[in-house]
Amino acid sequence: MHALLVIDVQNDFCPGGALAVAGGDEIVAPINALMPTFDAVILTQDWHPAGHSSFASTHKADPMTVTQMPYGPQVLWPDHCVIGTPGATFHPDLNTNAADLIIRKGFNPAIDSYSAFFENDHTTPTGLEGYLRTRGITDLTLVGLATDFCVNYSAVDAAKLGFNVTVKPDLCRAIDFDGSLDAAYASMKDANVKIAG
């Protein structure tokens, strides 16, 4: 069983959004077209309460600076994907009707969650692993936003958990902050994630 995992295709990560990723909207139509070719379609949704600890405003710091959290370094982002705001909803053209499951992450005020599998402490599970295993899903293809953060962390965690993981970079777009995209490709290759066009 092979699932398509669509990471964070939300308004705030698309042009005009609070944490816009260049070209983020370009991947929506081709992702929709890919959905029917998989046994399962799963969407993730970045879902932060106001005042989340990953927001620069919460720390009175500048966005795109790094702070130390109990679980390690954390980039401080502009406020984004705040629960109940239009920025947190999926891109209006994304075919959300095709989703078997929508998994939300980042709702714990004290811990960010880039990965669809674990919060940024690398230990608190989201429950996605159990869902995939109980459905007999062994293979995952990842697409979405952003390549160097949530796609990367999700792909590496999935590979470490033993799933057979492919990332399609043509259907991802990156933030590319301070070398983050090169570092992401290096960690995905290390974890045996396939990068396929």
Q: What string marks each residue from 72 to 111 as x (binds Zn ion by CB under 5 A) or -?
A: ----------------------------------x-----
Interaxial angle between packed helices 180-190 and 152-160, expressed in degrees from 0 to 180 and rounded to the nearest 10? 10
89 phi/psi in degrees, rounded to 5: -80, 160
Choice among 14, 81, 150, 172 that is catalytic? 150
Strand stretches in the chain, DSSP E: 2-7, 40-46, 65-69, 72-76, 101-105, 139-145, 164-173, 194-195
State the binding partner of 149 from Zn ion, ligand VGL, none, CB within 5 to 8 A by kind.
Answer: ligand VGL
Among the listed residues 127, 100, 95, the one whose alpha carbon sits nearest the alpha carbon of residue 113: 127
Residues that bind ligand VGL (CB under 6 A): 8, 13, 46, 77, 114, 145-146, 149-150
Given a contact cutoff of 8 angstroms between Cβ atoms, the answer to whether 134 and 109 are in contact is no
Choice among 12, 46, 79, 105 that is catalytic? 105
At its nearest, how many Å lie between ligand VGL and the CB of residue 166?
18
Per rule CB under 5 A, is residue 12 in the interface with Zn ion?
no
At its nearest, how many Å lie between Zn ion and the CB of residue 90?
15
Among the listed residues 175, 9, 183, 187, the one whose alpha carbon sits nearest the alpha carbon of residue 77: 175
Q: How many C-beta atoms surround the C-beta of residue 169 within 10 A?
A: 17
# of chain residues touching Zn ion (CB under 5 A): 2
Active site residue 8: yes
Q: Which of residues 29-48 bind Zn ion (CB under 5 A)?
A: 46
91 secondary structure, DSSP code: P
Active site residue 190: no
Task: Report the catalytic residues.
Answer: 8, 105, 150
Chain residues that interact with Zn ion, rule: CB under 5 A? 46, 106
